[in-house]
Amino acid sequence: MKTILAFPAILFLFTAVSCAETPAAPVLPQEQTVIKQTTPQPETNPLLTEDDYINEALKMLGLEQKDTEFKKDHRDDPYRLQMVQDSLHKPLELPKVCESINEKWKSANTITDALNIQIEQLGKWWDCAGTPVLDGPAPAFDMATLAGCPEELKVPLARLLGSMTEARKYMDAAFGKLSPDERKYLIANVLPDMILDGDSVKDDFQIEAEKVELTMLPPEKNIPEIQGRDEIYPEQVEGLKLTLKIEYPYMHIAALKVAGELDNFMAAVRQIDFSTMPTVQAPAEAVAGEVLFYAETSQGIIIIGNKGENTYYKDTALIVDIGGNDRYLARAGGAIGATDSAVSICLDLSGDDYYTCTKKFSQAGGLFGIGFLADLAGKDIYEAGHFTQGCGVFGIGILWDRGEGDDYYSADHLCQGAGGWGTGILYDEAGDSRYFSRTFSQGLGMTLGAGALIDDSGDDYYIAAATIMNDRPYSMSQGFGQGQRPIASGGIGTLIDSQGNDHYTAFFYAQGCAYWYGLGILMDNAGNDRYDAQVYAQGCGIHLSSGVLMEGGGSDFYNCTFGGNAQGAAHDWAVGLLLDKNGSDVYAGRGNNQGSAITNAFALFIDSEGDDIYQTTKGGGQGYGGAARDSYSIGLFLDLGGNDFYSEEYMNPGSGNGNGRRWIKGEKGAGIDEGGKMKNEE
């Protein structure tokens, strides 16, 4: 890992980013006493809303909301997303931004809806408004391709295939400024850097080598395995500049054209009676089982499987399977744009299906291409490796499981809703789902990219098992925004679970967390949920980034006791938020946690109601704002209802923390526990 492994060597606190410029945060007086205050007299006016309590806590510190907007971006690069920038500048607006995203996903009914939600987050980079219309006609779709196709399918199938043909034109325009050698360079140097143990897989990292010469080449320069924290290597900077030659709006247009026709096709085929359609012969090396249509075209193989059990062996441009318990042993909607198919689609209408493939960019993976996998019914199993299950890198990948069955997903790195210089989405509508991965997954956004994992219902289990580097298990998943320190800003990673009693397990960096100008968001809207992590997690921003965890309801358990920086915490010009709306919750942490900010950061913790338990190490967190670099951090802790237990009351009686109390910690840290219901609920 060349640019993203510049991590610290100590567990609890990162050392500060050394910035040449003077920070624009408010400057502390030369001598200021740390104040610890308990139960000051409240204002006579009643506090009505969470915003009122934020203002009250800031007032305790002699601050206003505008004081949270101090400068936090101290490094420039050409890859900055406006949404990330705004999250740092206006942290108190961030919950509203997240709620807006949440509402949009609640109303998403089509693949087109999902695509637009993600692309909107990427701002000007992907905005196709004002993009010049391409001159000349798109390559004509040859209707002769469909000779022998059942008549009922010809029209909707022709429209879908026509959109794929037209999309190729726009994908060619998107990457037209990149030479073949430049594409090879990106594959050889950028893709391994996106995997923590990338050097170990370089020799095996081949992208359809039998079709195009895109094997993993050794880097042109010998870059050390682990860089100095802020050391810049010119060859890496110049290599990444190749990504600025990509015309991202054309990729957006291409994906929209296909997504719209795919949405129409899915609606159309549900109305067709397939029972009387004749079957045809197909090559045994391509597919086993009854087939209604088979063709080898300039775009790739097209297969329509019948209702019985089928096994698909080859990569294809399009598979439509009518029903049955099927097996997919190839990419299944994985698109490698440098090969014949700029677009690949796999659509399974029903059945309990098994998807397994060790190839990279399988199961809705897109590399210089667009991959779609839609499974409309059944209990399904998805097993894959790197860059899979809704992953877009210089491309777009969308996996949508619309069935009510209990599904199982297992993959490795860059998977399950991951995007870098592209977008990836995994959407599961129903059932008790299981998500297993290692690193960079489950809602991961890298540079100029956005990734989302959306689960609508069911009691779900998420685990990011991590990759061990420097004796540390890095998960970097479950709503994680990742930049490439110090040369490229990160993207936007989102995980939203709407219903059910869910369990999230990860290690370092996860669960609404971000690193280096990224934005990580985890929102769980309902249910009694459990969050387990080790450090840098659960609404945590690290090094000029923003992390958010928002819990909508239920009695939840938050556990992050290995190291600090968790549960609404921020470090080093960063923003960290944890907001829990209701339920009797348990928070177990240590060190810098539960509304604590250090090294010129902003942290906010709000538990709106319920009888809660707060466990932390002696003197740890709970409304702490530390001073550094001649300026301060702001940490706010707000418990707005219920009778609560604080371990600090027993381990550190002089701290001032406790039920029904108010306190000040550090230079600019404040806590309020109302010891009962919010005023507007009485």
- The pLDDT, as a whole number, for residue 76 is 86
- How is residue 142 written in tokens? 């040859």
More confident: 32 or 541: 541
In whole angstroms, give the CA distance from residue 426 to residue 429.
10
Query: What are the structure tokens assigned to 187, written together?
Result: 């594959």
Q: How many angstroms separate the first and last alpha carbons of the chain?
A: 55
Cα separation, 157 vs 178, in Å, equals 32
Q: In angstroms, rounded to a whole number, what is the distance separating the alpha carbons of residues 256 and 126?
A: 12
Answer yes or no: is 661 within a domain.
no
Instruction: Report the run of H or E that residue 412 belongs to, with start and end.
Output: none
Tell how many helices (H) and how many strands (E) occur in the chain.
10, 49
Confidence of residue 588 (pLDDT cuts 50, 70, 90): very high
* Whether pLDDT at 345 is above 90: yes
200 lies in some domain = yes
Asked if the structure places residue 317 within a domain, the reply is no
User: Would you say how long the chain is, in residues?
Assistant: 682
Q: Identify the three-state secondary structure at position 556.
A: coil
Look at residue 216 and tell me if it is in a domain.
yes
pLDDT at 37 over 70: no
* Percent of the chain whose predicted confidence (pLDDT) is above 90: 74
What per-residue confidence (pLDDT) applies to 464? Answer: 98
Q: How far apart are CA 77 and CA 639, in angstroms?
A: 39
pLDDT for the residue 5: 36
Mean pLDDT along residues 278-300: 96
Instruction: Give me the residue label for tokens 């701002």.
Output: 123
Q: Answer whether residue 503 shows pLDDT above 50.
A: yes
Which position has the higher pLDDT, 232 or 416?
Answer: 416
pLDDT mean across residues, the chain: 87
pLDDT at residue 508, rounded to an integer: 97
Q: What percentage of the chain has pLDDT greater than the value 70?
A: 86
Question: What confidence score (pLDDT) does residue 647 get?
Answer: 93
- The mean-pLDDT minimum among 82-86, 272-276, 330-334 falls in 272-276
Return the amino acid letter for 199: D
pLDDT reported for residue 434: 98
Sequence-distant contacts of 151-155: CB under 8 A, at least 24 apart: 152/272, 152/273, 152/277, 153/269, 153/272, 153/292, 153/293, 153/304
Cβ neighbours of residue 137 under 8 Å, at least 6 residues apart? none
The secondary structure of 347-384 as a DSSP string is EE-SS--EEE--SSS-SSEEESSEEEEEE-SS--EEE-
Quote the pLDDT of residue 230.
Answer: 65
Please count the structural domains in the chain.
1
Q: Which candidate, 117, 126, 17, 114, places its Cα nearest to that of 81?
A: 126
Is residue 40 very low, low, confident or very high in pLDDT (cuts 50, 70, 90)?
very low
Could you tell me the two tokens for 653?
A: 């009686």
Cβ(412)–Cβ(436) below 8 Å: no
- Band (pLDDT 50/70/90 cuts) for residue 46 is low
Checking if the pLDDT of 484 tops 70, the result is: yes
The CA distance from 331 to 227, in Å, is: 35
Report the pLDDT averaged over residues 352-358.
98
Cβ neighbourhood burial of 134 (10 Å; 0-12, 13-18, 19+)? middle
Q: Which residue(s) pair with 637 in the sheet?
A: 605, 671
Q: Which residue has the tokens 């022709």?
A: 158
Whether residue 440 has pLDDT greater than 50: yes
Look at phi and psi of residue 123 and say left if phi exceeds 0, alpha if psi is from -120 to 50, else beta.
left
pLDDT of residue 223: 30
| Cα–Cα distance measured from residue 453 to residue 584, given in angstroms and rounded to the nearest whole number | 27
Task: Give me the torsion for CA of 214, 216, 221, 223, rounded to 10°.
Answer: 140
pLDDT attached to residue 207: 38
Contact (Cβ atoms closer than 8 angstroms) between residue 523 and residue 550: yes
Q: Is the pLDDT of residue 649 over 80?
A: yes
**HEC profile for 65-116?**
HHHHHCCCCCCCCCCCCHHHHHHHHCHHHHHHHHHHHHHHHHCCCCHHHHHH
Per-residue pLDDT at 228 = 35
Q: Answer yes or no: are the C-beta atoms of 422 and 366 closer than 8 Å.
A: yes
* 380 found inside a domain: no
Q: Domain range spanning residue 204?
A: 180-245
Higher pLDDT, 339 or 572: 572
Reduce the DSSP state of residue 648 to 3 states and report it.
Answer: helix
Least confident span in 64-73, 442-451, 516-525:
64-73
How many CB atoms sit inside 10 A of residue 142's CB?
Answer: 15
Query: Residue 188 domain-assigned?
Result: yes
Q: Phi/psi of residue 308, each to 5°?
A: -75, -175
Residue 520 pLDDT class (50, 70, 90 cuts): very high
What DSSP line would sit under 160-207, residue for residue? Answer: HHHHHHHHHHHHHHHTTTS-HHHHHHIIIIIHHHTSTTGGGGGGG-BS
Given a cut of 80, is residue 211 above it in pLDDT? no
* pLDDT grade for 482, boundaries at 50, 70 and 90: very high
- Under the banding of pLDDT at 50, 70 and 90, the label for residue 9 is very low
Q: Which of the four pLDDT bands, split at 50, 70 and 90, describes residue 21?
A: very low
pLDDT score at 142: 78
Q: Indicate whether 24 pLDDT > 80.
A: no
Taking 70 as the threshold, does the pLDDT of residue 679 lie above it? Answer: no
Burial of 9 (0-12, 13-18, 19+ CB in 10 A): exposed
Write a three-state SS string for 121-159: HCHHHCCCCCCCCCCCCCCCCCHHHHCCCCHHHHHHHHH
For the cut 90, the answer to whether the pLDDT of residue 192 exceeds it is no
**Mean pLDDT value across residues 82-105:** 98
What average pLDDT does range 606-620 have in this prediction? 93
**133-182 tens-digit pLDDT:** 887 776 667 788 899 999 999 999 999 999 999 999 999 999 999 999 99
pLDDT for the residue 197? 52
Spatial separation of the C-alpha atoms in residues 65 and 44, rounded to whole Å: 21
| pLDDT for res 206 | 39
Q: What is the pLDDT of residue 677?
A: 54
Pair of tokens at residue 23 = 């920070």
Across the range 606-615, mean pLDDT stands at 97
Mean predicted confidence (pLDDT) in 67-87: 93
- Confidence band for 70, pLDDT divided at 50, 70 and 90: very high
> β-strand 423-428 against 396-401: which pairing, if any?
parallel
- Residue-wise pLDDT for 530-540, tens only, equals 999 999 999 99
pLDDT at 196: 60
